[in-house]
Amino acid sequence: MTIPAIPLQEITNQALHILAKEMGAANTMRFLGQFSTGTGNYTEEREYLFGQLTLDDVLAEIGEKSGKTQA
């Protein structure tokens, strides 16, 4: 007995329909968000944003936000 292969796109559409019907659109989107791979290069972005900061800079900012001063 051979079961015909259903195209992956059709399976995806059926799954999305079932999820949305049973869980609602918002929870379906939250569920699907777990599987996104994201975009960009995390390491390069962090280097661009924070590359010039020193440990002392970070500690000073933490102290400012917590109301304490660095010794």
Residue 68 pLDDT greater than 80, yes or no:
no
Question: Using one digit for the tens of pLDDT, what is the confidence trace for 7-63?
Answer: 999 999 999 999 999 999 999 999 998 987 878 899 999 999 999 999 999 999 999
Indicate whether 2 belongs to any domain: no
If asked whether residues 30 and 45 sit together in one domain, one would say no
Indicate whether 20 belongs to any domain: yes
- Position 70 confidence tier, pLDDT thresholds 50, 70, 90: low
Q: What one-character-per-residue DSSP string does the chain give?
A: --PPPPPHHHHHHHHHHHHHHHH-HHHHHHHHHTT----S-HHHHHHHHHTT--HHHHHHHHHHHHT----
If asked whether residues 33 and 16 sit together in one domain, one would say yes
70 in Cβ contact with 56 (< 8 Å): yes
Indicate whether 1 belongs to any domain: no
